[in-house]
Structure 1
C-alpha cells in the first residue's frame, strides 16, 4: 500500500507541474525515510553520486554537444544539400529529403530534439514555400526526427544500457534494421502523399550537382564513419565514440568549414550544458527511486503478479507496450526510461525476453511518445517552427505515427528484426 501511495504522489506532483526530477527525488526520499528513517538519506546520497558518475553516461553530454556543434558548424546544411541533390528529383522531393537527412543526422547526434531543430529550421520554411501545408511539413519533420533515437548512436539507448547493464554497442547494432525500416516506410508514405496531393519535385537530377554537393559535404559524411566505425569495429567504446564525435564536429565545423567562431562555440556549449543538466538531474534522482524500489522489491512483486495472469512472452510484451505507450504520452523520454526500467527489468529476465530486444522496444515507445500529445516534445518543436497547431498537426501525423507503430510491432513479435545483426556479430 505504501509503495502505491509513493508512486501516486509522484504522478500527482508531475501532473501539477513540479519538475520531473524534483518529483522523483522527493517521492523517493519519502519512501526511503519511511523504510529506514533518517539513516536512509545516507544511502540515498551515495546512490545519487553513483548514479550520476556512471562511465557510459558520459556519452550523453558528449553526443548532445556534438549535435549542437553540428547545428552551428554548417554540417547540417551541407547534409541537406547533399541529400537534396541525391533524391530531391523524386515526386515530393523535399519530403524525401527531410527523411533522408534525418537518417544521416541520426548517425551522428543521437537526439531527436537536436534533429528537428537543425533540420526543421531549414526544411520546414522551404517546404511551405513549395506548397506543403504547415501541418504536413511539421508532421514529416517531427516523425522523421524520431529516427535519431532508433538509429545508432542513440541517447535513450545509452541511458537504458547504463540503467539495465545491457551492452550499449549491441543496442546500437540492434537499432539499425528497425531504424532503416522506419525511414524507408516514411519515404514510401511521403511518395504516396506526393502523388495524391501532386506535390512538386525539386530540380531535375544532375550528376554535376550531386558531385558538387558530395564534395562540399564530404567531411560531414565522414562523421558517421568515424563514430559508428570506431564503435562497431571495437576500437572505441560508445563513450569514447561520443568524444570522437565532439572532436570531429569541432574540427570540421571550426577548421574545415570555418563556421564556428568563439561566440557560436559558446552558444553550443551553453545549449549542451543545459540539455545535459536536465538529463543528468533525472538520472541522479532516479538512482534514489531505484534504491527505494529495490528495497521494497516492488518490481519483483509486479513481475510475479503479471506471471500469475500469463507466462506467454508475447502477451506480456503486449501488456508492457500498452503501459509504455501511455507513459510515453505523459512523460519525456529520459523520465519514462528512468521510471520504467527498474520496474520492468525483473519481469524481462523472468519471462526470458532478450534485454537488447526490450531496449529497442522501449526506444520505439519513446519515439512514439515524442509524437503523441500532450507532451510530444519533438512534435511541439516542429510545430513551433512551422507555426501550426499541435492538435491539428497530430491528425496529419497519424500515418507517420502508424509507421513507427508497425516497426514497434515487428520488433515486439519478430525478434529477428532487432536481434539478427546482434546474433550475427556477437553470438
Structure 2
C-alpha cells in the first residue's frame, strides 16, 4: 500500500497534475483500493488538517509580510544593511544577505524574501561589477534563511504536524538562523576578498544614524514577535496578529506608503497566498493520515531500529534523504507528511523534537534553491532572466556552503537548544 501511494503520487506530479490535487487523489484512491474505510473519512481528515489553532498564525504572518513589502519596510531594511556592511569587501553582497536575515525575521516567507530583496539588490549587484552567476546564486539562496529565523511559516507547520511548542521552536530557529546567516556572511566576505569584489564607501555617522532611524519601525517587528512570545505576553498566533496590525499601521501612518487601495490589494493577495498554503496543508495532512493507518511509522521505526544505533547516523541519513526530497518536493508537503512519521523514531534515539524540527527546516530551506525544482529558482527567474544552466554554478556554490552550515547545526545541538533551554529550562 505504501509503495503504491508513493508511486501514484509521483506519477501524478510528473504528469503535471497540481500538487494539492495529486495529494487528495492519492488519499482517496488509497482508501478506495487498499482499505475498507469509507472514502468520505478523507474529507473529514482534509478539514481536520487545518482545524488547528496554531495554523491561525499563518494568514496573519502572510498579511504582515505583504504589508511590510508594500509599506516600504523592506527598502528601509536594505538601506540599514548597506549602512552597516556596505564598506566591507563584497559589501553589497553582504548587505543583501544581511537584509535577507532581517526581512526573514519580518516575513517568515522564503519566496517573499527573494522577491523583496532581489528586485532591488540584483540590479545593484550587477551595476557594481559582481558576476551574474554569483549575484543570481546569492539572490536565490537569500530566502532560505527566512525558513529558519522566526516567524517562520515552515516552523509553524512543523509545530502543527508534531504538536511541538511553537515558542520553543521559534527560539531554536532564532539561534540556528542567526548562525546560518552569519556563516554565509563570513563566506561572502572571504570569497569577495579573495576575488577582489568591490567595496562600497563607508557610511558617515550621520548616514548610519539616518538609516537606523528610518529602519527603527521595521526592526521593531522581530522584537515584538520574539520578545512578546518569550516573555509570555502573547501566544505565537496573537503575535502574528499583532505584527500584521503593526505593519499595516507603520505602512499607512508612519511611512505613508500604503493607501486604502493598496491595503485592499495586499489583503486580497494575502488571502490568495493563505488559501494556497492551507489547501496544501489540508491535503498533505490527509495523505499523512493514510500513511499512518498503512503502518508507515511502524515500518520506519523498525527500519531505524535495525539500521541505526546512533542518533548521529540517523541524522546523517535524515539530512541526505531530506536534501534529496527537497530537490523535487515542496517543503510544505515534505514537512507535514514526513515529520510525524519520523518523530517517534528520532525521540527513541534521544533526539530532541526541537532540534529535530530545526534540522528538518534547515534541510528544506536548502531545498528551496536546489535544482531542478527549488521554488526560489522559479521565483527569482522574473528578476534574473537567466536560464538554469547560467544560474547553476552560483547555485551550487551556495549549496555547498549551506550544506556545511547544516552539518554544524546538526552535530552541535547547542546552537539550536541554547535559547529554548535558557528561556524554558531543560
* Shorter-chain TM-score tier: over 0.9
- The answer to whether residue 69 in structure 2 is matched with residue 67 in structure 1 is no
Query: Residue 132 of structure 1 aligns to a residue in which SS?
Result: coil
Give runs of aligned pairs for residues 375-386 of structure 1, distance below 5 A. Answer: 375-386=373-384
Deviation at 1:265, TM superposition (A): 1.6
- The answer to whether residue 60 in structure 2 is matched with residue 98 in structure 1 is no
CA contact (8 A) 2:135 2:394 kept: no
Query: Residue 99 of structure 1 aligns to a residue in which SS?
Result: helix
CA contact (8 A) 1:29 1:288 kept: no
Determine the C-alpha separation between the residues in 2 that align with 1:312 and 1:195. Answer: 40
2:294 to 279, 289, 296: 296
- The answer to whether residue 159 in structure 2 is matched with residue 161 in structure 1 is yes
CA contact (8 A) 2:285 2:337 kept: no
- The answer to whether residue 251 in structure 2 is matched with residue 253 in structure 1 is yes
Query: Residue 175 of structure 1 aligns to a residue in which SS?
Result: helix
| 1:19 counterpart residue number | 18
Stretches of 4+ moved more than 3 A in 1? 34-37
Query: Residue 378 of structure 2 aligns to a residue in which SS?
Result: helix
Q: Which has the higher mean CA deviation after the structures are superposed, 348-357 or 67-76?
A: 348-357
Give runs of aligned pairs for residues 295-374 of structure 1, distance below 5 A. Answer: 295-374=293-372
| TM norm structure 2 | 0.96
Deviation at 1:35, TM superposition (A): 4.8
| 2:149 counterpart residue number | 151
Deviation at 1:411, TM superposition (A): 2.4
- Runs of 5+ unmatched residues, structure 2: none
- The answer to whether residue 210 in structure 2 is matched with residue 234 in structure 1 is no
| 2:4 counterpart residue number | 5
Task: Output one character per residue of 1:62-105: Cα deviation in whole Å (capped at 9) or x when no partner.
Answer: 11111111110011111111111122111221111101111111
CA contact (8 A) 1:321 1:365 kept: yes
| TM norm structure 1 | 0.95
Query: Residue 23 of structure 1 aligns to a residue in which SS?
Result: helix
CA contact (8 A) 1:108 1:227 kept: no
Deviation at 1:314, TM superposition (A): 1.3
- Runs of 5+ unmatched residues, structure 1: none
Q: Which has the higher mean CA deviation after the structures are superposed, 415-424 or 55-64?
A: 415-424
Determine the C-alpha separation between the residues in 2 that align with 1:409 and 1:275. Answer: 32
CA contact (8 A) 1:178 1:407 kept: no
CA contact (8 A) 1:372 1:394 kept: no
Determine the C-alpha separation between the residues in 2 that align with 1:316 and 1:9. Answer: 28
Give runs of aligned pairs for residues 107-122 of structure 1, distance below 5 A. Answer: 107-122=105-120
Task: Output one character per residue of 1:295-315: Cα deviation in whole Å (capped at 9) or x when no partner.
Answer: 222211121023112322111
| 1:178 counterpart residue number | 176
CA contact (8 A) 2:136 2:394 kept: no
Determine the C-alpha separation between the residues in 1 that align with 2:269 and 2:130. Answer: 31
Query: Residue 388 of structure 1 aligns to a residue in which SS?
Result: coil
Determine the C-alpha separation between the residues in 1 that align with 2:131 and 2:404. Answer: 25
Determine the C-alpha separation between the residues in 1 that align with 2:369 and 2:418. Answer: 28
Query: Residue 330 of structure 1 aligns to a residue in which SS?
Result: coil
Determine the C-alpha separation between the residues in 2 that align with 1:204 and 1:413. Answer: 38
Query: Residue 90 of structure 1 aligns to a residue in which SS?
Result: coil
Query: Residue 153 of structure 1 aligns to a residue in which SS?
Result: coil
Q: 1:47 to 1:129 in 2, by over 3 A?
A: same
Determine the C-alpha separation between the residues in 2 that align with 1:83 and 1:287. Answer: 39
| 1:33 counterpart residue number | 32
CA contact (8 A) 2:13 2:22 kept: yes
CA contact (8 A) 1:112 1:146 kept: yes
CA contact (8 A) 2:101 2:146 kept: yes
Task: Output one character per residue of 1:330-352: Cα deviation in whole Å (capped at 9) or x when no partner.
Answer: 01111111221232223223323
Deviation at 1:184, TM superposition (A): 1.5
**CA RMSD for the aligned pairs?**
1.6
Paired residues, number:
425
Determine the C-alpha separation between the residues in 2 that align with 1:407 and 1:399. Answer: 13
Task: Output one character per residue of 1:267-295: Cα deviation in whole Å (capped at 9) or x when no partner.
Answer: 31232122212211111112221221222
